[in-house]
Amino acid sequence: MNKFKVSLSPHVHSGNSVNKVMYGVIIALLPALFVSVYYFGLGAIKVTLVAIAASVFFEYLFQRFMIKGESTIGDGSAILTGLLLAFNLPSSFPIWMIIVGSLVAIGIGKMSFGGLGNNPFNPALVGRVFLLISFPVDMTNWPKPQELVFSLVDADSGATPLALLKEKVGNGETVANALKDIPSYFDSFIGQVGGSLGEVSAAALIIGGIYMLMKKIISWHIPVSMIGSIAVLQAIFFLINPDKFADPAFHLLTGGILLGAIFMATDMVTSPMTPKGQIVFGVGIGLLTVFIRNFGAYPEGVSFAILIMNSLVPLINKSFTPKRFGEEVTNG
Amino acid sequence: MLKTFKLGGVHPPENKFSAGKKIEQLPIPKTVTIPIGQHIGAPAQIIVKRGDEVKVGQVIAKAGGFVSANIHSSVSGKVKKLDETVDGSGYRRPSVVIDVEGDEWLDTIDKSDTFDKEIKLSAEEITKKVMENGIVGLGGATFPTHVKLSVPAGKNVSYLIINAVECEPYLTADHQLMLEKGDEIFLGTQLLMKALGVTEAIIGIENNKPDAISHLENLAKKYSGIKIQGLKVKYPQGGEKQLIKALINREVPSGGLPLDVGCVVQNVGTAFAVYEAVQKNKPLLERVVSVTGKSVKTPINLMVRIGTATSELVEAAGGLPEDSGKVVSGGPMMGKAMADLTTPIAKGSSGVLIFRNEEAGREKIHPCIRCANCVSVCPMGLEPYLLMTLTEKHDYDRVESERALDCIECGSCSYTCPSTRPLLDYIRLGKSTVSKIIRSRKQ
């Protein structure tokens, strides 16, 4: 008699896997990585490689000795966390600090909750915020982008446009005066603005976002609601007092809004499960970002906004359930 | 204009290898094992005993109540024994084993192939014929057809919907039946319309069967009140709630029936069986079964007597491939895996699907990464990841309030999960536990 396997339906599977999802996001990050290497040179490569290697190493250690489970470094999630952490760092960042950041991202941000799928906060952002609070000088001193590909010379460093804006407007100057020396919007879009690795080119991030939308790794709800709410609220502030508040286009093209909207806030593990919940989540991040940037102590607020909204995800999931079939009976 | 349902759904590869293969009559086997209890509802009561001579079409088990169905002998010969057999749904049920001698039919049955298009019977007589001849839903759910035709007082039926979607990958039995028995299907539809007292019927077909759509559209000119509606391919469009939504944009309420939105849904194969039962007085003793799979030598559509062992069908399709790892009764999304090939074909068997060894297993379970794919593909708007977690935690109050009982077990969630989590397995467990709790509450 033949021996057959017996199991419950369905007997077929889509072939989708955690690996495919994770490597899909990594592929989507490659355009931005190439642009940052182009502008920041070997520094960018160094920061990226160290962050990835350290993240994978710590994932292995924690899984082996703390969780005591089968190794999970093959699923791609640690590589992704390392890559995203690197995207949040300046290319001149010291190696030992990168390693500390990776330890915090993987160890505290992810493995202390039980590993992949169980962490409430985006691990890369946990690492970034830890570094920002611990090493504020190194985290806000950004080399200027200057087509440094394969050059070993250190670049000039300086403040980001957002930091400039915060400082000068805080000192009583007008927005127009504060921003007279920053790159044009077109340059910001293509990638000529000081900042962390991942913030350098809006265009490259958007290409990655379109790729993930096409592969159905992310849906439009979080990026669109987040960017849209920032644009609307900042436009209102700008119209009220253009001397004190910069225009929305400046805000959207500088700092971490695009990186945050496309790659950070859309992290599956730490974002809501339904389209409605995702829109609430995106709008929440957008509003918090605008308030922190305009009124907070830090020039940049995306990471804080995402982490705050991460903490509300369980509540959002409970409040915004999907529309059940047959709930509103439509007879016609 | 092609229609479809809005909420959820997936697009598994169609793999309809047996499409376009003419329906072949499988030779009558030497013995048949007819399971008793091939339908939803009360089991039938066996009325034959060991040694009895039976003819083709003779009742061997009588319906055990109103929601039940007669079971007829599909062959002529001698009852060898009354036994218990594991059927296609995996349950051990009483069965009647018959040794075949010749092929002698009851004289009341019209065996001829001539198309009889004159409707002579009244609505009540049609329903009675359907009941006597043991017709049940042939889409797989096997709900007794006469029950659906007996509309309770106070309910209004405005549409008869014929389910010709065949949204399960691989299966082609309904498709081929439409190509070969179009007139009979239309007449069966008219008989069902008369029994229900409705003037409008819609036949819903997915547009991966364009030949069936155009063939039936041509025939539809001859029959009044029957409309053919093409549908965009999307699984599980053959679920009756999804089909009603797609065709007439009405949503069956939670826990309700199609009757609640003025519809009765019948499978296209059932319409054919109704034609034979009413016009030819022929009981449900054979059906079309697709035998298919990636390694199957000659995928094939067979007309098979009820009670034939699966092994006979597999032989007719070129034998069991060497690399076979799993054999499924029905389609890949909702079918049931068989333990071995002795399993008899029953009224609800729409296909025999043979998977290769490498397709037969399941992938390792990974942690949920909260990608929400299961939520977005659920055609009932449920949250499969949550239902699984709640079942794991034995929180059955919430399993119930999160509407696990609405689940139609289409399998889209498990199909799409990147972590290959057994979502539907857990939801089934949650559903059956909740059903038990509800029953004990009523007592």
Chain B closest-CA separation from residue A269 CA (Å): 5
| pLDDT given at position A183 | 64
Give backbone dihedrals phi and psi of B290, rounded to 5 degrees, phi first. Answer: -85, 135
On whether both A78 and A110 belong to a single domain, the answer is: yes
Closest Cβ–Cβ partner in A18, A273, A321 for B419: A18
Closest Cβ–Cβ partner in B253, B325, B415 for A4: B325
With beta carbons less than 8 A apart as the criterion, state whether B70 and B63 touch.
yes
Is the pLDDT score of B111 beyond 70?
Answer: yes
On whether both A182 and A134 belong to a single domain, the answer is: no
Report CB contact under 8 Å: B338, A4: yes
| Confidence bin at A332 (pLDDT 50/70/90) | very low
Is the pLDDT score of B191 beyond 60?
Answer: yes
| Confidence bin at A256 (pLDDT 50/70/90) | confident
Q: Residue A306: what residue type?
A: I
Contacting residues of B for A323, CB less than 8 Å apart = 7, 381
Is the pLDDT score of B354 beyond 50?
Answer: yes
Model confidence, pTM: 0.91
* Mean pLDDT across B306-311: 96
- A15 CB near a chain B CB, below 8 Å? no
Mean pLDDT of chain B: 94
Q: What percent of chain B has pLDDT over 90?
A: 89
Report CB contact under 8 Å: B416, A326: no
Distance of alpha carbon A265 from alpha carbon A258, whole angstroms: 10
- Chain A, 156 to 195: residues with Cβ < 8 Å from chain B are none
On whether both A43 and A107 belong to a single domain, the answer is: yes
Contacting residues of B for A7, CB less than 8 Å apart = 326, 337, 362
- Chain A, 202 to 241: residues with Cβ < 8 Å from chain B are 219
Q: What are the tens digits of pLDDT across the range B13-61?
A: 999 999 999 999 999 999 999 999 888 888 899 999 999 999 999 999 9
* Mean pLDDT across B187-213: 95
Q: What CATH code is assigned to B28-100?
A: 2.40.50
On whether both A250 and A271 belong to a single domain, the answer is: yes
Domain spans, chain B: 1-27+107-361, 28-100, 373-442
Nearest CA in chain B to A16: B418
Q: What percent of chain A has pLDDT over 90?
A: 62
| pLDDT given at position A145 | 67
On whether both A169 and A297 belong to a single domain, the answer is: yes
Distance of alpha carbon B327 from alpha carbon A241, whole angstroms: 72
Chain B closest-CA separation from residue A81 CA (Å): 14
In a domain, A5, yes or no: no
Chain A closest-CA separation from residue B248 CA (Å): 7
Report CB contact under 8 Å: A4, B333: no
| pLDDT given at position A192 | 59
In this structure, what is the dihedral angle of CA atoms B69, B74, B77, B80, given to the nearest 10 degrees?
Answer: -60
How far apart, in Å, are the Cα atoms of A304 and each of A170, A193, A230, A265, B134?
A: 21, 22, 15, 11, 67
Relative to beta strand B159-163, strand B201-206 is parallel
Fold of domain B1-27+107-361: Rossmann fold (3.40.50)
Note every long-range contact of B420-423, with CB atoms under 8 Å and residues 24 or more positions apart, other chains counting.
B420/A13, B420/A17, B420/B362, B420/B363, B420/B364, B420/B365, B420/B366, B421/B365, B421/B366, B421/B368, B421/B385, B421/B388, B422/A8, B422/B362, B422/B365, B422/B388, B423/B374, B423/B384, B423/B385, B423/B387, B423/B388
Closest Cβ–Cβ partner in B250, B363, B385 for A13: B363
Is the C-alpha dihedral spanning A230, A235, A241, A245 positive or negative? positive
* Mean pLDDT across A208-213: 96
Final residue before a domain boundary, out of A94, A113, A139 = A139
| Confidence bin at A156 (pLDDT 50/70/90) | low
Q: What percent of chain B has pLDDT over 70?
A: 100
Chain A closest-CA separation from residue B394 CA (Å): 19
On whether both A180 and A58 belong to a single domain, the answer is: no
Final residue before a domain boundary, out of A111, A139, A167 = A139
Among A186-200, A273-287, B87-101, B398-412, the least confident range: A186-200
| pLDDT given at position A147 | 58
On whether both A91 and A157 belong to a single domain, the answer is: no
| pLDDT given at position A323 | 87
In a domain, A266, yes or no: yes
| pLDDT given at position A268 | 94
Count of structural domains, chain A = 2
On whether both A64 and A167 belong to a single domain, the answer is: no
* Cis preceding linkage at A10, omega within 30: yes
Distance of alpha carbon B242 from alpha carbon B234, whole angstroms: 10
Report CB contact under 8 Å: B367, A1: no
Chain B closest-CA separation from residue A201 CA (Å): 27
Report CB contact under 8 Å: B10, A115: no
Question: What element of type H or E holds B374?
Answer: helix B373-377
Report CB contact under 8 Å: B254, A4: no
Contacting residues of A for B420, CB less than 8 Å apart = 13, 17
Contacting residues of B for A115, CB less than 8 Å apart = 367
Nearest CA in chain A to B251: A326
Distance of alpha carbon A240 from alpha carbon A245, whole angstroms: 8
* Mean pLDDT across A192-196: 67
Report CB contact under 8 Å: B337, A327: no
Q: What are the tens digits of pLDDT across the range B383-434?
A: 999 999 999 999 999 999 999 999 999 999 999 999 999 999 999 999 999 9
Residue count (chain A): 332
In a domain, A13, yes or no: no
| Confidence bin at B88 (pLDDT 50/70/90) | confident
Is the pLDDT score of A194 beyond 70?
Answer: no
Nearest CA in chain B to A218: B371
Instruction: Answer with the residue of higher pLDDT: A202 or B266.
Output: B266
Report CB contact under 8 Å: A273, B250: no
| pLDDT given at position A2 | 57
Among A78-82, B86-90, B148-152, the least confident range: B86-90
Q: What are the tens digits of pLDDT across the range A37-71?
A: 888 888 899 999 999 999 999 999 999 998 888 88
Q: What are the tens digits of pLDDT across the range A176-186?
A: 777 776 666 66
| pLDDT given at position A15 | 92
Distance of alpha carbon B355 from alpha carbon B327, whole angstroms: 6
Nearest CA in chain A to B412: A10
- Only one residue has tokens 């990638």, namely A191
On whether both A156 and A218 belong to a single domain, the answer is: yes
- Decide whether B1-27+107-361 matches B28-100 in CATH topology: no
Note every long-range contact of B382-386, with CB atoms under 8 Å and residues 24 or more positions apart, other chains counting.
B382/A322, B382/A324, B382/B406, B382/B407, B383/A273, B383/A274, B383/A321, B383/A322, B384/B413, B384/B414, B384/B423, B384/B424, B384/B427, B385/A273, B385/B413, B385/B421, B385/B423
Chain B closest-CA separation from residue A271 CA (Å): 8
In a domain, A158, yes or no: yes
- Chain A, 17 to 56: residues with Cβ < 8 Å from chain B are 17-18, 20-21
Q: Spell out the alpha helix ranges (H) of B51-139.
A: 123-132
Distance of alpha carbon B185 from alpha carbon B163, whole angstroms: 12
Best residue of B369, B406, B426 to probe chain A, by most A CBs closer than 10 Å: B369
Is the pLDDT score of B2 beyond 80?
Answer: yes
Report CB contact under 8 Å: B326, A6: yes
In a domain, A245, yes or no: yes
| Confidence bin at A152 (pLDDT 50/70/90) | very low
Contacting residues of B for A219, CB less than 8 Å apart = 376
On whether both A102 and A222 belong to a single domain, the answer is: no
Is the pLDDT score of A1 beyond 70?
Answer: no
Contacting residues of B for A281, CB less than 8 Å apart = none
In a domain, A240, yes or no: yes
Is the pLDDT score of B256 beyond 50?
Answer: yes
Nearest CA in chain A to B420: A17
On whether both A53 and A171 belong to a single domain, the answer is: no
Contacting residues of A for B309, CB less than 8 Å apart = none
- Only one residue has tokens 């508040």, namely A245
- A329 CB near a chain B CB, below 8 Å? yes
In a domain, A226, yes or no: yes
Best residue of B251, B322, B431 to probe chain A, by most A CBs closer than 10 Å: B251
CB pairs under 8 A between A and B: 170
On whether both A108 and A163 belong to a single domain, the answer is: no
Is the pLDDT score of A142 beyond 90?
Answer: no
* Mean pLDDT across B88-97: 88
Q: What are the tens digits of pLDDT across the range B153-173?
A: 888 899 999 999 999 999 999
Nearest CA in chain B to A329: B251
Residue A194 belongs to domain spanning: 151-319
Is the pLDDT score of A200 beyond 80?
Answer: no
Chain A closest-CA separation from residue B329 CA (Å): 11
Report CB contact under 8 Å: B385, A326: no
